[in-house]
Structure 1
């Protein structure tokens, strides 16, 4: 198998997977006209790429007894895709009563193109099967080249209008409901259509150059590459509105799980000093991981328990001496690291104080920076980011050397 056949197989496989995905949706909603059009938009190029594989190409010729019949079928599928895409885009952004009459006109035009292609193919004299080189062998001939030019012209028209309509519809979506994945999908369809226009230019340029006496097979090969790349991008664009939101939800869930795990060092340090903050304390680290099954509740409780613990630590919090704060990148000391130092020292003072009444708030250290603003009133998303950085900084800090004079509450040492 040569490289071109491998590319065709990859494109066909991706497209057929997308078709299967849409057929499953059709089984649940068989009367959805938009879904039928979308499925056909993906199935037509899938069939085209499949028949373009040399082994399948030759099998089609043997089955029907017509050499190179697969070329006519492949190009008919590709042109059919471009017209179907226009119909689908009309169904997406205008009422069916308005779109269907226009769709009938496009179907009629597609029929005329098919008839012209069939007549030219029959008159081309393509009697020797050329699974990999049909365009190179018959394109330089007057009738065969005209057949190819009719094909690429119709295809280019469909691609150009599809790109324009997709961008137009994407802008409308952005102004109205702002569905991000539909907007992205439409833009991908536009990009893929523009890339695929390179195929039309390459094939058309090859034919015209051959008629002028110059063979440029590299131009034809570059066009084929544009077709394959454009097809992959277009297929992604057509399907991403359905699976994109699930991807976003999955990424968001992974982010929440990461935040939950990132908060563990801070929460665990506070829990060891103040076990009463935990509503349902896990028996072990493994048990804590099982809380991920109810992630939203677990994450919310973790933030609330850290907030409660910080409030309880208020009498033990003292301003931080800047010299005690480890420097980060570029000798910078950020707020999260300062807060981690304050909490580490406050927890040390709490443990040193032992049971009994809480001491008065410690006096300020000369030359120390003021305490960081409490984040108890911040929204959850803000707290997650800040507390996550605090937790990471706390995990990297060395143990505190601060003790406390229980009688006065004044910090001594470190």
Structure 2
């Protein structure tokens, strides 16, 4: 079973690398360094899974001149794939305009780690075995070997998780690209779980506690990690042709209906308080489907937003951006600032307090050029705004801080004269 999963994951990773290469060649797109790192990393991942399969390990025991040499080569190849992942994270949009020095540093750390692992394995003087962790996991030198290996893989995957969203929050991002990235993140999560099971096995050898990890950690998780990563990175290439088939449209129609229903429920949380204040924007239609209703409510929210513009507090977006934990260009920060503007404008509209036009230009964090061109992308953005408008503590703080106060009367009474 372990051999089947390992070889299947290696085959999927190789197929994903070939798919990315052919997609770049057929479409005429330039072969960028990021794409080259991605293809090379997928090939290294396939090689690491092939070398780590039990059948390959048993075959290597017959011919290897140095004990556990195949194990060392497989681990170093896996670290090479992680190094490609670090290079991809470094070349993410907005990360570094000149990433060559950082990539060189990552490569130097990779080479130093591979050399340290080779020296530690040679100094440990181990005998050939297919159960490397369970046999030598209690020795200090092997523990250091495993720590270098697991630490480098964890660092690479965590870096991609932290910086990888930059790839898919660019203006050209599509829903298919976001879905592919979610699959890649799910595959990396399986990689985290696999490293955790290996750490549990080593801890059990040191302590003698009966806390051995389940067998799924060594059999299913590595192949599942590679399969999900391969499917995720190649998702934008093979999914669009599949969606154009009649069978795929029939199968995905219920999912599309569910997405529309969820988006309609979220957008309605923002639509209801706005149309209560400005009911004139609502168009009465007798028969209307869910998709049409969703897009109508998006248009009506934008109409109300235009009417509330004179009432928006000039500092609303600045206060919301100051309390946001993410970058100003992040999608969540943009939605938070837009929700703050709507909230203060709605409060001032109810109190009938227009804001004077500020002399200095106001910083506007809401950049609608980042939102996709499709109506559903606009609805998805407004759903994020609605969640922030309804549940965010930052919005509640902005509304309390910038709550409109009743205007004092400027008329004075004439003094009484006797």
TM-score bracket for this pair, using the shorter chain length: 0.5 to 0.7
Return closer, same or farther for 1:168/1:138 CA change in 2, 3 Å cut-off.
same
1:16-47 Cα offsets, whole Å, 9 max, x none, are 22233234346667843222111112111100
Query: For residues 223 and 162 of structure 1, what CA distance do their matches in structure 2 show?
Result: 23
Q: What is the TM-score with the length of structure 2 in the denominator?
A: 0.54
Question: Relative contact order, CA 8 A, sep 6+: which one is greater?
Answer: 2
Aligned to 1:376: none
1:177 to 172, 194, 197: 172
Give the TM-score normalised by structure 1. 0.54
Of 187-196 and 106-115, deviating more is: 187-196
**Contact 1:181 1:240 survives alignment (8 Å):** yes
1:11 to 5, 9, 12: 9
Asked if 1:152 corresponds to 2:147, the answer is no
Deviations for 1:74-120, whole angstroms, at most 9, x for unmatched residues? Answer: 11122222221121233342488522222111111111111111111
SS at match of 1:218: coil
| 1:47-196 equivalence runs, <5 A | 47-94=47-94, 97-128=97-128, 130-131=129-130, 133-170=131-168, 172-173=169-170, 176-196=171-191
The CA distance in 1 between the partners of 2:33 and 2:76, in whole Å, is: 22
Give structure 2 stretches of 5+ with no counterpart.
254-286, 289-418
Provide closer, same or farther for how the CA distance between residues 105 and 145 of structure 1 changes in structure 2, counting only shifts above 3 A: same
138-147 or 42-51: bigger deviation: 138-147
CA drift of 1:14 comes to 1.6
Q: 1:253 to 1:148 in 2, by over 3 A?
A: closer
Structure 2: how far apart are the matches of 1:231 and 1:17? Answer: 12
- State the distance in 2 between where 1:200 and 1:163 align: 16
Q: 1:92 to 1:239 in 2, by over 3 A?
A: farther
Q: Tell which structure's C-alpha radius of gyration is larger.
A: 1
Distance 1:27 1:50 in 2: 27
Where structure 1 has 5 or more consecutive residues not aligned to the other structure, the ranges are 259-333, 336-414
Match of 1:226 among 211, 221, 227: 221
Q: Note the alpha carbon deviations across 1:102-143, whole angstroms, 9 max, x for none.
A: 211111111111111111111222222x23x11111112221
Q: Across the two proteins, how many residue pairs are aligned to each other?
A: 252
Q: Write the deviation string for residues 192-240 of structure 1: whole angstroms up to 9, x where unpaired.
A: 2122111111112221221123365435752553332222111111111
Q: Secondary structure at the match of 1:199?
A: helix
CA RMSD, Structure 1 to Structure 2 (Å): 3.0
